[in-house]
């Protein structure tokens, strides 16, 4: 899946926006099946669409209750 830069959020930015560590974000991604791996300058990283990021936000909020 190839997304342009305006349609995707890289894992570091996603983690900051959600207030999670990168490891926590990857765990939520793995459990939920959201996000996908892309090869970048720094190797493989998980990339999210804005809709996936919204859904991850809901999951993270539910798990903190």
CB atoms within 10 A of CB 63: 11
Q: What is the pLDDT of residues 9-21, one digit of tens each?
A: 999 999 999 888 9
pLDDT at position 40: 77
The Cα–Cα gap between 6 and 19 comes to: 21
Q: What is the pLDDT of residues 44-60, one digit of tens each?
A: 889 999 999 999 888 87
* Boundaries of domain holding 18: 5-63
pLDDT at position 50: 93
pLDDT at position 16: 95
Note the pTM of the prediction, 2 decimals: 0.77
The Cα–Cα gap between 42 and 52 comes to: 22
Task: Give 3's contacts (C-beta < 8 A, 6+ positions apart).
Answer: 47, 49
Q: Indicate which CATH number applies to the domain containing 48.
A: 1.10.1660.10
Number of domains in the chain: 1
For residue 2, pLDDT beyond 60: no
């Amino acid at each position: 899946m190839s997304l342009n830069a305006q349609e995707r959020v890289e894992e570091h930015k996603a983690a900051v926006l959600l207030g999670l560590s990168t490891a926590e974000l990857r765990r939520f991604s793995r459990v939920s099946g959201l996000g996908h791996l892309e090869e970048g300058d720094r190797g493989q990283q998980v990339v999210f669409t804005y809709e996936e990021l919204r859904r991850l936000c809901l999951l993270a909020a539910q798990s903190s209750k």
